Structures are given as C-alpha cells and as structure tokens.
Amino acid sequence: MSDPGNPLSPQDPPLRVPITFEKVLAAASMAALCLITLGNVVTRYLTNVSFAFTEEYSIALMVVVTMLGTSIATAADRQIRITWFASLLPPAGRRAAEIFSTLATIAMFVLVLVLGGRLVWDEYRFEVTSPGLGEPQWIYTLALPLLAAVVIGRAIGHLVRVLKARRAPSRDAIEPL
C-alpha cells in the first residue's frame, strides 16, 4: 500500500537477497510450534500427563519466529514506526527520519547480537542445562545472536536502498508479505 504523503515511486530497487528462505523457515517454525502444542494438549487431555519438552522447544521456536518476522519486516520496510509524525515532515525530513530509524534498528540489534553472543558463551562455558530436559541451554539461545545478525544485514540492506534512492523507499517496491 502506498502512503499518499510519501514521495516514493514504485520503481525503487527490489531486494537483492529474497526473503523466501526466512519466510519458509518462519512457516516451518510456526508449524512445529503448532504441532508440539497440539500434541501436548491432546496427550494431556487423554492421559493427564504433559510432555516435558514442549515448553522448552516452544519458547525456542517462539524466539525463532519472532526474530525471523523481524527480519522479514525489516527487509520489506514494514517495521514498527510512528508514521503520523513523519508524514508531517517535508520529503527531506521523511528521508532523514527513515535513515535515523534504520540506524537505530541497526544499533539495537547490534546490542542484541553482542549481549546474546555473551549469553550463549556464558551458557556454553558454565555448562548450563535446560531445566526440563537437561539439554545444553546454549543450543536454544544460539538462535538469538544468529538471527540478530540476519536482522542487522536486512537493516543495512534497507539503509543502502534508502541512501541510493536519495529519498525514502517505497513500500510498494518490495515483494508483498
């Protein structure tokens, strides 16, 4: 959908790296999450016993789905923002706001990457195990910094498109979600 106050054209460059892989991985993660939860509910209903692994796997899969959704939204220029204020700005101001918000996104996910990496390293170094299954906890946590790096890459790609276009990018130029 095009924003009528946005000076953008549908001729903005498309993504160099398609988001198909992220979409497929997010769909597979959501399917696994649904199957695990359904299996747990049916088993608990029929036998009054709950699967121990479902909570650990469900939390890890929710993190994966969230981070992949963030990556897809960043690549498709659909991240959360306050457009009402930006629409009051002239075109140069809208472009500056777009650059600022993208740089802020990159900065925040660099923090997630660094702090998540430190968390993974600490869990590995201190041999932290998951409470339910006793698996190494770092295996679950590893998705956080890895997918933060993917989001950073998508945000950098978005920033490059904004800077090359010399105006804020069009939301119509990116493939639909």
Whole domain around residue 169: which residue ranges?
A: 20-173
Collapsing DSSP states into helix, strand and coil, what is residue 129?
strand
For residue 1, is it within any domain?
no
Residue 130: phi and psi, rounded to 5, are: -70, 150
Structure confidence by residue, pLDDT tens digits, 46-99: 998 888 778 899 999 999 999 999 999 999 888 877 788 888 989 889 999 999
Residue 153 lies in a domain: yes
Q: Is residue 9 part of a domain?
A: no
Q: How many domains does the chain have?
A: 1
Query: H or E segment at 121?
Result: helix 91-125
Question: How far apart are alpha carbons 72 and 38 in whole angstroms?
Answer: 26
d(CA 3, CA 29): 32
- Asked if residue 3 belongs to a domain, the reply is no
- Whether residue 27 lies inside any domain: the answer is yes
Q: Over pLDDT 90: what percentage of the chain? A: 60
126-137 pLDDT tens trace: 999 998 889 999
